[in-house]
């Protein structure tokens, strides 16, 4: 193997605060790397993929040293910025109704459930606090005739693949959410909801305290030197020599020069209210904890959370998506999201007039045109577990598990063989057509989604 030097062209920048992390008690962080070290395994990125890879490796390569290097702080990146739906069913963001083809969907469900079982087993093993990960299902809800048609087609698809669901009428929806906004809903039982930052923090603590994994925060990998012996990862204050490296950086795999012109970098945005008072909670009504996905993929996701570890009862709203191939979102993107989310909130919760949003943020997704991961051995003893196509709590977990299997030499594992039966991410159209075209289409689809937004 020839020696290869790869410099990271960009490091992650996340717009606004990671609210799920900010509402939790302040914790002592993991110290940045400040010396040169040697390890058996280096994992770059401490999100769902990175921590799942560390967990699976700790089961497969007992006694070997594992180090996770995180550019920022755990749960400050997309892993602490998402809506926390671990969805077992197909969730194609590129599709009109989230559904894909029949066989692909059956395979996807099997894989998603395997990842959810893996995450649930971690929660069990490390004794996660109550409410961090709960198997409560989710509701896909509609408030327009178009949304109801989406639900109808989703329902037919679930029938065709033999998946259970329960239809909810207007009265059920009021009982569930307290809001009169939704006409109908479709409940599916297999979804697990997480407090994403709580999940990441406790998974990391379990790995460090119980498995001897070493984590360094505020330790961006700025350069990779790949050699036939040990690879070297350069960070601001120390170098890591590693026999094997797993890249779990989602879209930032492109910042290291891999998958050029193959990855879409989409930002989506969310707001979280301040704590609701007892009086506001009574006016709201509905269940204590619930989650709604919009029938129209361009619509609004809503969650109500109860008082997780003293962090208060709050509502979380997510909508709006922009393609930012620079991997950075602008203040203008955030401002537009703020306006859209204020309107979405007022429409749904008129009884909470005057309740302000305490946090507004954006976060990166990485998608490919053909909805496949950027996965595999991308250099000698260098693996990629990236591009989670918008469902990283599940697909990131799966990619991390599978990268660990592949890297540890379990090449005949049937789950891995099935996971690897996918095409490579398809090549994107050239700029400026790509960004202009994709952003225009998303604005039109948002407009067409009407009240579902």
Residues that bind ligand FAD (CB under 6 A): 8, 11-12, 44-50, 69-72, 77-79, 81-85, 220-221, 248-250, 252, 268, 270, 318, 363, 365, 388, 390-394, 396
- Chain centroid to CA 232: 28
Of 66, 21, 6, 150, give the one whose Cα is nearest residue 404: 66
CA distance 248 to 403: 9
Supply φ then ψ for residue 148, to 5 degrees: -65, -35
Least Cβ distance, residue 367 to ligand FAD (angstroms): 9
Smallest gap, in angstroms, from Cβ of residue 96 to ligand FAD?
Answer: 19
Report, in Å, the least distance between residue 276 CB and ligand FAD: 20
Start-end of H helices in 275-430: 278-284, 331-348, 392-407, 414-419
**DSSP at 130:** T
Q: Across the strands, what pairs with 192?
A: 86
Q: Which is nearer to ligand FAD, 151 or 367 (CB)?
A: 367
For ligand FAD, the closer CB: 23 or 391: 391
Q: Which is nearer to ligand FAD, 200 or 284 (CB)?
A: 200
- 32 burial type by CB count under 10 A (0-12 exposed, 13-18 middle, 19+ buried): middle
Nearer to ligand FAD, 116 or 142 (CB): 116
Q: Which of 388, 163, 364, 174 is nearest to 269 (CA)?
A: 364
Please identify, using beta-carbon distances, which residue of 43 and 280 lies nearer to ligand FAD. Answer: 43
Min. distance of Cβ 223 from ligand FAD in angstroms? 9
Helix (H, G, I), strand (E, B) or coil at 250: helix
Dist. CA 46–CA 71, nearest whole Å = 8
Beta bridge partners of residue 67, listed in sequence order: 42, 214
Q: By C-beta, is 230 or 401 nearer to ligand FAD?
A: 401
Nearer to ligand FAD, 280 or 401 (CB): 401
Q: Tell me if 435 sits within 8 A of 323, measured CB to CB.
A: yes
Nearest distance from residue 87's CB to ligand FAD, in Å?
Answer: 6
Smallest distance, ligand FAD to C-beta of residue 355, A: 20
Q: Least distance in Å: CB of 278 to ligand FAD?
A: 28
Find, among 322, 219, 342, the residue nearest to 264 by Cα. Answer: 322
Beta bridge partners of 140: 186, 293
Q: Which residue is nearest to ligand FAD (CB)?
A: 392
- By beta-carbon proximity to ligand FAD, the closer residue of 294 and 392 is 392
Beta strands in 138-262 (DSSP E): 138-142, 166-168, 184-188, 192-194, 214-216, 223-226, 231-235, 238-247
Nearest distance, CB of residue 83 and ligand FAD, angstroms: 3
């Amino acid at each position: 193997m020839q020696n290869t030097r790869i410099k990271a062209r960009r490091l992650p920048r996340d717009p606004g605060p990671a609210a799920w992390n900010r509402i939790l008690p302040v914790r002592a962080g993991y110290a940045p790397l400040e010396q040169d070290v040697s390890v058996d395994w280096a994992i770059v990125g401490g999100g769902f993929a990175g921590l799942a890879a560390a967990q699976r490796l700790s089961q497969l390569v007992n006694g070997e040293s594992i180090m996770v290097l995180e550019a920022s702080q755990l749960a400050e990146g997309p892993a602490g910025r998402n809506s926390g739906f671990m969805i077992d069913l197909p969730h194609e963001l590129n599709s009109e109704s989230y559904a894909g083809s029949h066989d692909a969907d059956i395979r996807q469900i099997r894989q998603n459930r395997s990842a959810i079982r893996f995450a649930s087993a971690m929660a069990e093993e490390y004794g996660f606090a109550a409410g961090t990960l709960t198997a409560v299902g989710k509701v896909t809800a509609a408030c327009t005739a178009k949304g109801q048609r989406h639900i109808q087609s989703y329902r037919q698809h679930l029938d065709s693949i033999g998946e259970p669901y329960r239809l909810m009428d207007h009265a059920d929806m009021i009982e569930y959410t307290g809001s009169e906004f939704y006409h109908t809903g479709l409940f599916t039982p297999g979804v697990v909801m997480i407090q994403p930052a709580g999940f990441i923090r406790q998974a990391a603590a379990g790995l460090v305290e119980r498995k001897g994994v070493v984590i360094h925060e505020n330790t961006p990998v700025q350069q990779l030197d790949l050699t036939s012996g040990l690879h070297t990862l350069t960070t601001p204050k120390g170098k890591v020599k590693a026999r094997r490296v797993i890249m779990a950086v989602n879209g930032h795999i492109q910042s290291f020069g891999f998958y050029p012109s193959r990855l879409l970098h989409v930002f989506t945005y969310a707001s979280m209210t301040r704590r609701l008072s007892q009086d506001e909670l009574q006016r709201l009504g509905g269940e204590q904890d619930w989650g709604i996905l919009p029938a129209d993929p361009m619509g609004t996701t809503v969650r109500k959370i109860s008082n997780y570890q003293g962090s208060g009862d709050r509502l979380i709203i997510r909508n709006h998506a922009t393609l930012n191939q620079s991997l950075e979102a602008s203040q203008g993107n955030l401002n537009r999201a703020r306006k859209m989310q204020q309107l979405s909130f007022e429409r749904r919760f008129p009884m909470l007039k005057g309740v302000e949003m305490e946090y507004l943020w954006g976060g990166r997704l990485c998608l490919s045109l053909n909805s496949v991961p950027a996965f595999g051995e991308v250099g000698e003893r260098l693996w990629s577990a990236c591009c989670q196509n918008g469902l990283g709590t599940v697909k990131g977990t799966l990619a991390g598990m599978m990268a660990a299997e592949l890297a540890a030499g379990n090449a005949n594992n049937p789950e891995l063989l099935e996971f690897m039966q996918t095409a490579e991410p398809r090549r994107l159209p050239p700029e400026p057509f790509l960004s202009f075209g994709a952003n225009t289409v998303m604005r039109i689809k948002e407009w067409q989604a009407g009240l579902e937004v």
